Amino acid sequence: MLRIKKLSVFYGGIHALRGIDLEVADGKIITLIGANGAGKSTMLNSIVGLVKPSDGDIEWNSENIVGYGTKDIVSRGLVLVPEGRRVFPNLSVDENLRLGAYFRKDKAGVKADRERCLTLFPRLKERLHQNTGTLSGGEQQMLAVARGLMSNPKLLMLDEPSLGLAPIVSKMIFDVIRDINRNGATVLLIEQNARAALEIADYAYVLETGVVAMQGKGHTLLKDDNVRKAYLGERDEIPMDTLPN
């Protein structure tokens, strides 16, 4: 289990996270939703050691990992698929996948996970020896997720996996997230498509300006009027008889 206690992070004079408490239970899909600048990506970057908290604890299976290097955190099974894909454009698809398993020594497990990734994303198998920079945005996102899976994560963190993708590709990404979870990985998801994220989430947190404004089961927040108006694009209908002629 991942447990975050009173986490605070500053960017210069900006208080990006303000005493956040959050839990990610084993085997669950947890999502964070909120407007741009709410602190969602800062949260994930803090977990993997890319951002240093000013206060608070980040506990993974009761071990406080604040101050650990990213390499040590990844070796414990916490893996981040960052926003913007961050694949290596001058390397082939296969080389990107193999880099995802850089820290692993179990050759048989790496081979099995590579085959699993190519089964999850058949399009990558078709482009295995193609330079990554020539792939479409959707294909690069598939590769970014697959590369994260090659690390054999216990907790897979995904930062905006459907951003900028066509609806059919986004649906496929969410189907894969469900499959990853069913096969044993815990998932912590940041997603601009709040409706899609809440539909698959066991539990969700709403961040606003660095604090947890709301939390609850995904299907419960889907029905909450404040969430629907703020993040799902739904508004109260205006009675026709109140409109000007």
CB atoms < 10 A from the CB of 188, how many? Answer: 23
Rounded mean pLDDT of 152-158?
A: 94
Bridge partner list, 4: 22, 58
Residue-wise pLDDT for 86-124, tens only, equals 898 899 999 999 998 888 889 999 999 999 999 999 999
Would the pLDDT of 133 be above 80?
yes
- For residue 239, the model assigns a pLDDT of 43
Q: In sequence order, what DSSP letters do the residues of the chain get, joined into one string?
A: -EEEEEEEEEETTEEEEEEEEEEE-TT-EEEEE--TTSSHHHHHHHHTTSS--SEEEEEETTEE-TT--HHHHHHTTEEEE-TT----TTSBHHHHHHHHTTT---HHHHHHHHHHHHHH-HHHHHTTTSBGGGS-HHHHHHHHHHHHHTT--SEEEEESTTTT--HHHHHHHHHHHHHHHHTT-EEEEE-S-HHHHHHH-SEEEEEETTEEEEEE-HHHHHT-HHHHHHHS---PPPPGGGS--
Confidence band for 242, pLDDT divided at 50, 70 and 90? very low
Per the prediction, the chain carries an average pLDDT of: 89
Query: Which of 9, 41, 10, 6 minimizes the C-alpha distance to 23?
Result: 6
The answer to whether residue 69 scores a pLDDT higher than 50 is yes
Sequence-ordered list of residues with C-beta below 8 angstroms from that of 216, at least 6 positions apart, any chain = 203, 204, 224
CA 244, CA 76: separation in Å to the nearest integer?
62
Distance of CA 34 to the CA centre of its chain: 13
Assessment of whether the complete model's pTM goes beyond 0.95:
no
Query: Rounded distance, CA 9 to CA 239, Å?
Result: 45
